[in-house]
Structure 1
Amino acid sequence: MTTIDIDHASRWFGNVVAVNDVTMTIGPGVTGLLGPNGAGKSTLINMMGGFLAPSTGTVTLDGAQIWRNESVYRTVGIVPEREAMYDFLTGREFVVANAELHGLGAREADRALATVEMEYAQDRKIQTYSKGMRQRVKMASALVHDPSVLLLDEPFNGMDPRQRMQLMELLRRMGAEGRTVLFSSHILEEVEQLASHIEVIVAGRHAASGDFRKIRRLMTDRPHRYLIRSSDDRALAAALIADPSTAGIEVDLKEGALRIQAVDFGRFTTLLPQVAKANGIRLLTVSPSDESLESVFSYLVAA
């Protein structure tokens, strides 16, 4: 059970603060790291991978400092966002070279290439690869020593839908095995499908942590929005609008539904079935319309 602990870590470059007093713990399972461009995600991953020293604070792996500790690379695999690769090598030569850095050989390299389904192109030069193929070869090089920790910076960039599905399944399997997997991505739907836990970074600061639905429900200063269909939308709207838990109701004729803003989540979720039962109204659809990861993320950025 390998864990990365970030304790009041900051990193600045001259007068620019890239990461500002961040504290979080990354444990076994799949964790998604979210944030807008320039939020500090890559800087944070580089500190976790030992490429950057924190200006203040600490970043540790199972209690051991990561910076200038080459022993961590026995258990950590890293897939950076940057495309710095040896284009004159074939894919297999590149992965074998990375295996040899770990004291391993061609057998482990071949296993890693098979894991990312790149055997068919392993003897082609990397300079002929598409971006998605380059991503998969980088992934193979990170997996060659069978790490218990995997750090991936925007791993889905340039992948086609099939490649994304294959990588998502691989990461799910690794998380289920008890490995510690952290990935950043700007494709919010994929993070929602894949990550069991999220960490949100905004302007270098730690903005939120946990399951995105739980985060949304903790944001009590903002109304919760619902899309509701019933056997009598107008009667339901008239009954709900009188209660202080409801801030506003819109009849959406196109959707054939009500769009409701609730300012008191607990009271509204109790009130809705009571009102429907008292008025003989059947509830056909009750769907939160702002609990997608994208909605939560936009709220956090705007906060």
Structure 2
Amino acid sequence: MAIIDLAQVSRWYGNVVAVNDVSMRLEPGVTGLLGPNGAGKSTLITMMAGFLPPSAGSVTLGGRPLHGDPSVYREIGLVPEREEMYDAVTGWTFVLANARLHRLPDPEAAARRAIATVEMADAQDRDIRGYSKGMKQRIKMATAIVHDPTVLLLDEPFNGMDPRQRLHLMELLHRLGDEGRTILFSSHILEEVEQIAGRIEVMVAGRHAASGDFREIRRLMTQRPHQYTIRSSDDRALAAAVIGAGSTSGVELADDGVHVQATDFAAFVHALPRLAADRGIRLLEVRPADESLESVFSYLVAR
């Protein structure tokens, strides 16, 4: 089995710490690497691909250190987030070149299979400079799978894809994971991970914030305290009513409305309309104040 182990891995650039003391284990199947932009996901993937040594700790594939061992590239397919590609060549030429670099016995057949798998055969003879962002993502995916790797590392692979392209890639990742490959894909979008990965690793500010079954971690996210800003026809009366509702830990009357911290999310969202209606208060706006991924993940770190 293709297993990647990270043991107390850190990576810093001068005084900037990009990854801080991360330990995790990636096994066959699809794993989502979730975190806000700047969390250290790309740095982590680059180290897993063997292109960047850790400043401390170890990154191994099947017990072998990944950095400094070119033979591991035969087992790894990488889709980087950045789009630095050879725009003046066709998609076919680009994928075929990668097949030849891997010294495959029949590079032409391998390139045809990979391009067909990502549904780019109709555009394979066009220059990459004319591709849309989603098409570039798919041709990068073809180069990642052309040598039939056991490990796939995908950095924000859904960027720029339209709904049909996203659905196709999701189905492809499901199939490759079911075949026993070890697949890690990063995203800062919760819904993308929910559709594909049964297991997730969460990164926040370079640290490993959570690990495990997606549904369990999603439950923690849902149950965290939620903050709302509410505007109504009578903010003072509404604040008094909310205080007595029993599902909040804090209520503040401010210039822009009532600031509420709800400890029981489900109870609060059901009680609020009834509280307002019973008192003849008209709700003008109910706005979540902490729905950014940064706030969600920060809550997980605190746990």
Smaller-chain TM-score range? 0.7 to 0.9
Task: Give identity over the alignment, percent.
Answer: 67
**Letter aligned with residue 209 of structure 1:** S
Q: Contact 1:154 / 1:185 at 8 angstroms: preserved in 2?
A: yes
Quote the offset at 1:295 in angstroms: 8.5
Supply the distance in 1 between the matched residues of 2:222 and 2:141 (Cα, whole angstroms). Answer: 40
Post-superposition offset of 1:208: 0.1
Question: Which runs of structure 2 are paired with 1:178-217 in the superposition (5 Å)?
Answer: 178-215=180-217
- Separation in structure 1 between the aligned mates of residue 87 and residue 165 of structure 2, nearest angstrom: 21
- Asked if 1:114 corresponds to 2:111, the answer is no
What is the distance in 1 between the residues matched to 2:80 and 2:175? Answer: 21
Counterpart contact for 1:216–1:296, Cα < 8 Å: no
Is 1:130 aligned with 2:127?
A: no
Which of 293, 297, 300 is 1:300 aligned to? Answer: 297
- Give SS of 2:83's match: coil
Aligned to 2:143: 141
Tell me which residue corresponds to 2:59.
59
Rounded Cα–Cα distance in structure 1 between residues aligned with 2:9 and 2:131? 37
Rounded to whole Å, the distance in 2 between the matches of 1:296 and 1:135 is 24
Tell me how large the CA RMSD over aligned residues is. 2.8
Q: How many residues align?
A: 250
Q: Map 1:224-235; keep pairs closer than 5 Å.
A: none
1:76 to 1:213, Cα distance in 2 relative to 1, 3 A:
same
Amino acid of the residue matched to residue 126 of structure 1? I
Q: Which amino acid aligns with 1:20?
A: N
For the residue of structure 2 that corresponds to 1:300, the secondary structure is helix
**How far is the alpha carbon of 1:150 from its aligned partner?**
0.2
**Partner Cα distance (1:221, 1:195) in 2:** 21
- Which segment drifts farther, 8-17 or 187-196? 187-196
Secondary structure at 2:271 match in 1: strand
- What TM-score, normalized to structure 1? 0.76
* Secondary structure, counterpart of 1:198 in structure 2: strand
Asked if 2 retains the 8 angstrom alpha-carbon contact of 1:35 and 1:201, the reply is yes
Deviation at 1:221, TM superposition (A): 9.2
Q: Quote the offset at 1:115 in angstroms.
A: 0.3
Query: In structure 2, do the counterparts of structure 1 residues 217 and 296 end up closer, same or farther at CA, with 3 Å as the change threshold?
Result: farther
- Stretch deviating more after TM superposition (210-219 or 185-194): 210-219
| Matches of 1:122 and 1:220, distance apart in 2 | 44
Amino acid at match of 2:73: Y
| Letter aligned with residue 71 of structure 1 | S
Give the secondary structure class of the aligned counterpart of 1:170. helix
CA contact (8 A) 2:86 2:128 kept: yes
1:21-36 equivalence runs, <5 A: 21-36=21-36
Shift of residue 253 of structure 1? 3.7
Q: Which runs of 5+ in 1 are unaligned?
A: 225-239, 255-293
TM-score, normalization by structure 2: 0.76
Does the aligned pair in 1 maintain the 2:76–2:151 contact within 8 Å? yes
CA-to-aligned-CA distance 1:212-243 (integer Å, 9 cap, x gap)? 3323556899469xxxxxxxxxxxxxxx979x
Matches of residues 232-247 of structure 1 in structure 2 within 5 Å? none
Superposed displacement of residue 296, structure 1: 8.4
Counterpart of 1:233? none
Matches within 5 A, 1:147-162: 147-162=149-164
* Cα displacement string for residues 173-221 of structure 1 (whole angstroms, at most 9, x for unaligned residues): 0111111000001222111111110000001000000123323556899
- Structure 2 unpaired stretches of 5+: 227-244, 248-262, 275-290
Deviations 1:251-303 (A, max 9, x none): 2448xxxxxxxxxxxxxxxxxxxxxxxxxxxxxxxxxxxxxxx8887433243
Task: Supply the distance in 2 between the matched residues of 1:251 and 1:218 (Cα, whole angstroms).
Answer: 21
Structure 2 counterpart of 1:78, which letter?
L
Contact 2:36–2:293 under 8 Å retained in 1:
no
Q: Offset at 1:71?
A: 0.8
